[in-house]
Amino acid sequence: MIYVLLMVLLILTAIALAFKKVFERLDEKVESTDTNTAPAQASILYVPTSSNDSSLQAKISELENLTEIALMAGENIGFGKVVAIQNGTVYLFDPTDEDMYNLAIGIAKTSAVSGNLIRVALAGKISGFTGLTANKMYFATLNGEITPVQPEKGMIRSVGFSVSTTELITDFSQKYLYDSI
């Protein structure tokens, strides 16, 4: 168990260090040029202060608070789409693809063209949607879309609860697979 946690910690630390400067540039670029994305929100990105900056338990606590991450888009992805993270690359979530069942998922906080960085919300509130129905649970559907109607077959993944017509609080807790996709 500790070995797995250490591996996850090492991977996330490497990603955080590699993208720290890119995050800063991405923030500047998003704020100045992209009008189709959610407003900038506070987030927590794990960046150690040194190679032995604190105990393992403290690092794990920090990782539990990770709310977003920037990774490479494996295809064109728009704001608000449900995405799956596979081998450090972000793809649109497809509930008919059983290989995506155990992948980490999130919601795109920015738009990106394949091969460019995209910011993905892993937890928290996301603003900038249009047309949500307030006070509804939303689920992932084809092409990374979200719907307030629970799918009747395939993979069921909750993505969040709408608190208004423009805001969604992430909730990826519901996850199950129907026998026949």
Long-range pairs, 98-102, Cβ under 8 A, ≥24: 98/155, 98/177, 98/181, 100/155, 101/155, 101/175, 101/177
CA gap 170, 164 in Å, rounded: 13
The type of residue at 81 is K
Which one is predicted more confidently, 120 or 15? Answer: 120
Distance of CA 86 to the CA centre of its chain: 12
Name residue, tokens 């490479």.
Answer: 72
User: What distance in Å separates the CA atoms of residue 80 and residue 113, rounded to the nearest whole number?
Assistant: 14
* Domain residue limits, the chain: 2-177
pLDDT surpassing 80 at residue 29: no
At a CB cut-off of 8 Å and minimum separation 6, what does 65 contact?
A: 44
Task: Look over the chain and give the mean of its residue pLDDT values, rounded to a whole number.
Answer: 75
Please name which of 78, 75, 133 lies closest in space to residue 109, comparing C-alpha atoms: 78
Q: At residue 62, what are phi and psi to the nearest 5 degrees? A: -65, -40
- Lowest mean pLDDT of 139-143, 145-149, 165-169, 170-174, name the range: 170-174
- The string of pLDDT tens digits covering residues 85-136 is 988 899 999 888 888 888 888 999 999 999 999 999 988 899 999 999 999 9
Query: Dihedral angle at the C-alpha atoms of 160, 104, 110, 47, nearest 10 degrees?
Result: 110
Residue 54 has a pLDDT of: 46
What counts of helices (H) and strands (E) characterise the chain? 2, 11
Residue pair 67/61 in contact by the 8 Å Cβ criterion: no
pLDDT at 47 over 80: no
Average pLDDT on 131-143 reads: 93
CA 171, distance to chain mean position in Å, is: 11
Quick: pLDDT tens for 66-81.
688 888 999 999 999 9
Q: Provide the pLDDT for residue 64.
A: 54
The answer to whether the beta carbons of residues 93 and 86 sit under 8 Å apart is no
Q: How confident is the model at residue 44 (pLDDT cuts 50, 70, 90)?
A: very low
